[in-house]
Structure 1
């Protein structure tokens, strides 16, 4: 095949075809940039823009709800445009350069598509994702509605093929997971130095409340300070005044049998009423009926999520609950302060007894840890990633992994750490040495 002469080389057909190729490349750039912007744009940022009256941001939020349909429409449009542009270029170059025009058209179109329809628009879109997403959202929304029947057919075909290979897809599954997006952004910001570790821990702690249960933060019953309701009133008064806590459970007979909760203020008001009465004196305190002063105990299941329990505390206008298991047996107690500490860290006041730090670094580089220290606390303090799925405390993790109660001096290695049992009291691991491997 010979090349055409100069008279017919640049006729109307040539310019029409060349113009068509340029237009298709521009449309391809629009599709590529739109795909990048709409998938990279932050939904919280789009929501903030929409709340300020940006209709484009509102449209972007709407179409990104169904990400599979969005991506399918953009990919369908982009592929049709690119294939059409390549076909026109092949016809144009073949007409002018004969058989060698196919290779030349491939080379030229690959270069043009790569630079002007892929890299350039995607770089611009990733630089200003929310701005670009708001601008392209409305035409893309129209496109997705026009192509909806074809995209639905393609989705059905794709799911059928995946089903043949044992892959099950969930049509309702959201690609944009807000919690994971926030957590990832906070961790990335902390690693880059733009977010302080304390700020990251507080925000992640608030996000995690729905995934953690009362059992994970409660004070175990062996550590709960309780008062015998059958003790003399003056002995009870002495115990309440000596305690750093304002609320104390009352039990009868055995500690499992909790019959009430005494508040220090309620007890002091009752004492004042007795002492300042007509026949009142200090000896009258012995006649107090503590059970009449005590509040009814509030029991909660150990599986209650922390965010739900916090709402219950606020609703009931109380912040003290006794935790029971599925059989109704007492497991411990939880307070509103325990839940807040999951967000802000340890809270102390002037009445709290100064305690030795549960985590110390030794001269050898090991960390001396109390067995009762929670895995969450040590992860938070040291920025470690010890798993807390099977156990709440460090001692519990060692026992779970060892499948036994270790003796003093035993050493284990798992999850990238070396654990040495330093002290054991009866069946409880009291102290451990931990070293990252």
Structure 2
């Protein structure tokens, strides 16, 4: 074939068209990666700072199905058309062998310049790339709306036949999942300390957890009998490590008030200042505050808001029948974020986990699974039980005897102590690959 004829005006027009189509393909590929990988939090911040592109990018990602459908449709049209033109061009120049040559050349060009290169850039600069690409992709989405709508109907129909639901409003990655993933990855790579990760994850989890999970059980609540003489009440309040004590009448289930140690001591001081040194006639209910009851299903997030709104730190927890289940304080909720809070009244007995000389851990049966997981960075499941004792009983389907040993979820549990039907002490150690301690 004559060289002048092969490289005529039609050749250069076709070659230019192929070049432009490869650029379009690269833009589509990079935009898809950028818009799906970009942090919505960062885009929101950029949008608030006045970036129109960031605002458009956020709007585009609200309907991920429509976005991905439009980009893929445009990308495939560009690639198929470019390949067809290249095949025609190489066949015209090289004859029948041009088909193989066109396939080889276009595979390399599409792979390197239209896929790997733009996607690599988009991953490295996702927010910037998403902001730059958003205006163009927004135009593409509007232009491709009719064919994409048809494609969506077909896709949903096929998925519906196999029982797969489609939620077009679901974000590619929710903000909460993104934060959790970032914290977990950051800790594994040494960017975040364990304590920092635990605090942030603890704050995120408040809306998913209920007061039932962290409350002090009623069996551990220190109470005051309303019929107790005032001097004995004062002595009990002074000896107690707690500032607030519930008051019951006749039955511990019948809570009629809550005494604050400061209110009690202030009243005693006023009687002494008034020249009345006797306390036998003093009515402790005169300083008791009205009890505050909350349902056991209340989330920790809501309960913390209620504590702040009511200017109180103490609530009694009841079940759906109104029966007393336990109590919760603002400190209990804060400990879910910052970890165990101790003061001068907390004794060594309050430490619920102790490492033994053989590398195992003595754990109080009342310790929550969540606290144990946080303390040792373990992953024991906490869906079926709140405490580690409850977990062992649930898994064993029995109330174990002292000395019995079980292996659940890659951990060895040995019952060390038991009171009546309650496991009070366990020795726990990871087994094999489950070890993280």
1:282 aligns with 2:277: yes
Residue number in structure 1 paired with 2:364: 370
Shift of residue 83, structure 1, vs aligned partner: 0.3
1:235 aligns with 2:232: yes
Shift of residue 424, structure 1, vs aligned partner: 1.5
Residue number in structure 2 paired with 1:415: 409
2:310 aligned residue (296, 313, 316)? 316
Unmatched tracts of structure 1, length 5 or more: none
Partners of 1:195 and 1:404 in 2: CA distance: 41
Partners of 1:431 and 1:387 in 2: CA distance: 19
Partners of 1:37 and 1:91 in 2: CA distance: 33
Residue number in structure 2 paired with 1:212: 209
Partners of 1:341 and 1:323 in 2: CA distance: 18
1:379 aligns with 2:387: no
Q: TM-score, normalised by structure 2?
A: 0.96
Deviates further, 347-356 or 88-97? 347-356
1:69 aligns with 2:63: no
1:244, 1:353 within 8 Å by CA — same for their partners in 2? no
Shift of residue 179, structure 1, vs aligned partner: 1.2
Deviates further, 163-172 or 203-212? 163-172
1:142 aligned residue (139, 144, 152)? 139
Shift of residue 276, structure 1, vs aligned partner: 2.3
Residue number in structure 1 paired with 2:399: 405
Partners of 1:422 and 1:350 in 2: CA distance: 29
Where 1:258 maps in the other structure, the secondary structure is: strand
Structure 1 vs Structure 2 CA RMSD? 1.2
Deviates further, 178-187 or 332-341? 178-187
Shift of residue 290, structure 1, vs aligned partner: 1.5
1:40 aligns with 2:37: yes
2:95 aligned residue (55, 73, 98)? 98
Partners of 2:204 and 2:104 in 1: CA distance: 52
2:36, 2:172 within 8 Å by CA — same for their partners in 1? no
Where 1:314 maps in the other structure, the secondary structure is: helix
Partners of 1:371 and 1:273 in 2: CA distance: 44
Where 1:423 maps in the other structure, the secondary structure is: strand
1:273 aligns with 2:267: no
Residue number in structure 1 paired with 2:426: 432
Residue number in structure 2 paired with 1:326: 320
Shift of residue 172, structure 1, vs aligned partner: 3.1
1:195 aligns with 2:192: yes
Partners of 1:354 and 1:416 in 2: CA distance: 30
2:22 aligned residue (20, 25, 28)? 25
1:221 aligns with 2:215: no
Shift of residue 142, structure 1, vs aligned partner: 1.5
Which whole-Å deviations, capped at 9, do the CAs of 1:285-341 have from their partners, x for residues lacking one? 222221122111000111111001001111111110000111111111000000000
1:35, 1:74 within 8 Å by CA — same for their partners in 2? yes
1:393 aligned residue (387, 406, 409)? 387
Where 2:23 maps in the other structure, the secondary structure is: helix
Which whole-Å deviations, capped at 9, do the CAs of 1:46-74 have from their partners, x for residues lacking one? 11211222111111111111111111111
1:169 aligned residue (151, 163, 166)? 166
Which whole-Å deviations, capped at 9, do the CAs of 1:203-237 have from their partners, x for residues lacking one? 00000101111011101111111111111112111
Q: TM-score, normalised by structure 1?
A: 0.96
Shift of residue 118, structure 1, vs aligned partner: 0.5
Partners of 1:350 and 1:431 in 2: CA distance: 25
Shift of residue 141, structure 1, vs aligned partner: 1.1
Where 2:159 maps in the other structure, the secondary structure is: helix
Deviates further, 331-340 or 176-185? 176-185
2:334 aligned residue (326, 334, 340)? 340
Shift of residue 356, structure 1, vs aligned partner: 4.8
Moved over 4 A (4+): none
Where 1:268 maps in the other structure, the secondary structure is: helix
1:358 aligns with 2:355: no
Partners of 1:382 and 1:133 in 2: CA distance: 40
